[in-house]
Amino acid sequence: MAKTSYLDISPELEETYYSDLQSTDRFILPRIRVKTVIFSREKKIILEGRSYLEQIADLWNAFTDQQRADWKAIDPYSHPNGWRAFVADQSQRIEREIGGVTTPNEYHQDLVGKILIEDPAEEIKLIQPHPSSYWVSQKVVGKKNMYEPVEVEEDFALPLKLTISYKSDLVSQGEGSFARFYALIRHLYQGQNLNHNEIIEIPLSSAWASQNTTISTLSGLAVSYNLYLHLYKVRGTLLFDNVKAEHSASNWVRDTFCKKIEQDFTRAFFQVPKNWGVITMPSGAGYLSIYPT
């Protein structure tokens, strides 16, 4: 049996301490554990007051059928109904104390990726690798703080369709400036390792728009690809969302809806960045997810 040392608790904390702990059956597994909490009616009212759902539901109920249809049309979730997309967007507005509701936008949802380049920087290059297979760390069901390695196999086969929505406000800093989203595809042909760049050129100045491109055939066998966002000899801001790389009947982009583009290597994604990683990012350049206003 484990030994238990003594713990001195100040009188003013005793009530709180003992109200949150309870003893389990000493004949089965004797231990002290956190007490199971059942919320009182008063606490439920307080929690409801902190939730945004009631406030958002009132706004949703006041919408016309056409307004709900507009939200359904841009809902990115499976089996779209518009409600989830509206909740995600309106929650961001409430947290940031922005009044009113936004107009549904087919090019982006609640959060978008933002790339900012200021003096002295003139370039930034981000990467999202897509090797044919990689390992991630996945939590073991039913085991606290226990993880196991799981292999992710990305069965790459052409055609590959790239899609991105964007809004750009960039200024050229010299000859050869550009903003690009592209895939560098590795393919094998007659004993050679070849690379092909499938590029979407992003205008330096543009309102919200969307582009896509498809590569259907390459010489030999297409093996793998990496995705890149590359801004060169420019300064300003690029917003983007709804990033897709579709092949083998699936979209393989990690963080398609740009919920946290700045998250790179994590405990789970230790071989490849979870979302986007950095190749070139000098002082003055940066990237993160924001709510566009």
In tens digits, what is the pLDDT along the chain, a chain of 293 residues?
555 555 677 776 666 666 667 666 555 566 677 766 566 666 766 665 567 888 999 999 999 999 999 999 999 887 889 999 999 999 999 989 999 999 999 999 999 999 999 999 999 999 999 999 999 998 888 777 788 999 999 989 999 999 999 999 999 999 999 999 999 999 999 999 999 999 999 999 999 999 999 999 999 999 999 999 999 999 999 999 999 999 999 999 999 999 999 999 998 999 999 999 999 999 999 999 999 98
Q: Do 164 and 94 reside in the same domain of the chain? A: no
Cα 167 to Cα 175: distance, rounded to the nearest angstrom:
22
Q: How many other β-carbons are positioned within 10 Å of the β-carbon of residue 272?
A: 20
> Residue 154 sits in which domain range?
112-290
In this structure, what token pair is assigned to residue 257? 């809806």
With tokens 């009530």, the residue in question is: 15
For the chain, the domain total comes to: 2
Instruction: Select from 104, 128, 143 the last residue of a domain.
Output: 104
What is the value of pTM for the model shown? 0.81
Q: Do 257 and 185 reside in the same domain of the chain? A: yes
Q: Do 218 and 120 reside in the same domain of the chain? A: yes
Q: Do 78 and 198 reside in the same domain of the chain? A: no
> Residue 12, SS3?
helix
**Is residue 237 within 8 Å of residue 116, measured between CB atoms?**
yes
- 13 domain residue, yes or no: yes
pLDDT at 232: 98
CB-neighbour burial class of residue 89 (10 A; exposed 0-12, middle 13-18, buried 19+): buried
Cα 186 to Cα 220: distance, rounded to the nearest angstrom:
10
Q: Do 68 and 91 reside in the same domain of the chain? A: yes
- 177 domain residue, yes or no: yes
Instruction: Select from 104, 120, 139 the last residue of a domain.
Output: 104
**Is residue 198 within 8 Å of residue 234, measured between CB atoms?**
no
CATH number of the domain enclosing 229: 2.60.120
- 3 domain residue, yes or no: no
> Residue 277, SS3?
strand
